[in-house]
Amino acid sequence: MRWDTVLFDMDGTLTDSQEGIVKSVSYALERLGRELPPRDTLTAFIGPPLHESFSAICGMDEAETERAVCEFRDYFARRGWAENVPYEGMAEFLAALHAAGLRLIVATSKPESFARKILEHFALERYFNLICGSHPEDRASADKASVVRTALTRAGVTGRAVMVGDRRHDIYGAHANGLEAIGVLYGYGSREELSAAGADFLAADLNELKTALLQQ
């Protein structure tokens, strides 16, 4: 096989987290007295670090961004994490990769505690050697390049690894660490976004992704 280790983004790659994230963002904006933007704007929050999104999408200053992130996490911790569902066929897909001998790692900008809770809830954690996410007390840990670097270090990866994700941040994070990157088109990043970011491969669905990873 071309790779022996696969790093996965989570939101938009392993699970469809749209409902939980959109509701968490909406809750945060309402708590701050902000008008809710169109739903298409809210879905842009799926994937990138929250501080970046509240600042770039909503034009918030530092203090307002911090408050928005706290309100988001308040809702997400209570309800948003459960408003999440694995993509159809994900368990079988991961089982096939695991059975083929690939080492699987989660590398997400989502707080690690939430990522683990969600994967355990859906009994998907069993397929991963490591679940690596950010830490709320360290904003820099949510940067995708940092997440990927930390995951590689913690897992002791020395072989050939590839990153799989649905947004440009996943591609940039992979390339910053010398990895190839596969962009998935079933998530929330468009073909144009992923191609412009320099994705080495594109996969329309889990079948195409499985073929690429197993070199079938």
Q: At what angle do helices 168-176 and 144-155 cross, to 10 degrees?
A: 50
Token pair in block for residue 108:
């997400």
Q: How many CA atoms lie within 13 A of 112 on its CB side?
A: 17
Give pLDDT tens digits for 66-88: 999 999 999 999 999 999 999 99
Report how far Cα 209 is from the mean position of its chain's Cα atoms. 16
pLDDT band at 216 (very low <50, low <70, confident <90, very high): low
For position 43, what pLDDT does the model report?
86
At residue 56's C-alpha, the angle toward residues 34 and 69, to 5°, is: 60
The tens digit of pLDDT for each residue in 7-56 reads 999 999 999 999 999 999 999 999 999 988 888 888 888 878 888 899 99
Note if 9 is an active site residue: yes
Q: One of 4, 9, 166, 170 is an active-site residue; which one?
A: 9
What is the pTM for the complete model shown? 0.89
Phi and psi torsions of 19, nearest 5°: -60, -50
